[in-house]
Amino acid sequence: MVTGRLIISDLALILNNFKLNQNGIGNRALLQLVARKREKQIVEYYSRNPEIDPTWVQTLSKVYMTKEELGCFMTGTAIIPTPISLPGDRGIVNVISFNGELYYHHSYDKMLTMNPEVEQFKFSKARTRLGNKINIYPYELSPTVMAILSDPMDAYFIDASIVLKNNLFIGDDYLPASEYEVINNTIEHDGVLYQIGQTFKATVNTYSGAGDVRLKNYIKKMTLDDPYPMSLSMANTVIMRILDEDYGFSRKQVSDIIADGQSQTNILTSEALQK
């Protein structure tokens, strides 16, 4: 499985071998490079073969909509992370209603002029996007959005599950600590007692007591250890593009470091670099 942590670990390892990471290139900066190269790679792939690779797609769980009048009818609207720009707005792969029906893409201008009383429109679902704002008709509170995001780390998910007692997220060098809410009874976290309904930010990764906790507002941000939406093959290509285009290293230089065996990469392989 490809994760953000594995990708930046390989990049940092190679850069350290070339003495370029002594001052510390941050994880955020490296992941932004990864996102840009991944986007270029996807756009190039799609231009040659206009099909969606499932490994590119992230599911944003339930996207909560507010009502907005668009043209002559009421739509649902929400701000979403920026999708990759592909023909036909294919960066938004699917918008799915609570009962599994698809919302079909229309241009923003077309949506403005649509008439919901027209028979052929009345029995279909429609969606459009303008920048980061998506609109759907008919209105629904929380459809599922599947998208190819420009920066996968912008993804968020709805997670209302109870968090295991030793599984609180205390933050890392990419994301701050998560906030949690006590949903029943009482818990103790880092020496402080919390009652039902109270919230706290994780300072240690565990809590105790009879109570349970879950994420505040049920929102889980993409972390360094979540699956990063690209294949192992694309990850190799993306890492090599960064080393080549941004740092000027040849495939042979990188392959020699890996073949030397002094440092173990997670994703890059000498065999992949020969392709």
DSSP 166: T
pLDDT digits (tens, 9 = 90+) for 84-101: 999 999 999 999 999 999
Give the pLDDT confidence score for residue 53 in this predicted structure: 97
Residue from 51, 50, 55 nearest 238 by CA: 55
Q: Is the pLDDT confidence value at 272 over 80? A: no
Supply the pLDDT for residue 120. Answer: 57
> Quick one: the chain helix, strand, coil %, rounded to 5?
30, 25, 45
H helix runs in the chain, sequence order: 4-17, 27-48, 108-113, 119-122, 232-241, 251-260, 270-273
Distances from the Cα of 192 to the Cαs of 177, 198, 209, 210, in angstroms? 17, 12, 11, 14
pLDDT of residue 157: 85
Read off the DSSP letter of residue 83. Answer: B
Share of the chain above pLDDT 70, in %: 91
The model's pLDDT over 132-175, given as tens digits with 9 standing for 90+, comes to 999 999 999 999 999 999 999 999 888 889 999 999 999 987 88
Q: How many CB atoms lie within 10 A of CB 225?
A: 13
Residues 6+ apart with CB under 8 A from 22: 16
Report pLDDT for 23: 56
Six-digit token string for 39: 């986007």
Q: How large is the average pLDDT for residues 178-190?
A: 96
- The pLDDT, as a whole number, for residue 15 is 83
Contact criterion met (CB below 8 Å) for 236 and 273: yes
Per the model's pLDDT, the better-predicted residue between 214 and 267 turns out to be: 214
Question: How confident is the prediction for the chain on average, in pLDDT?
Answer: 88
Residue 21 has pLDDT above 90, yes or no: no
Residue 268 and residue 257 in contact, taking contact as beta carbons nearer than 8 Å: no
Task: Report residue 65's pLDDT band, with 50, 70 and 90 as the boundaries.
Answer: very high
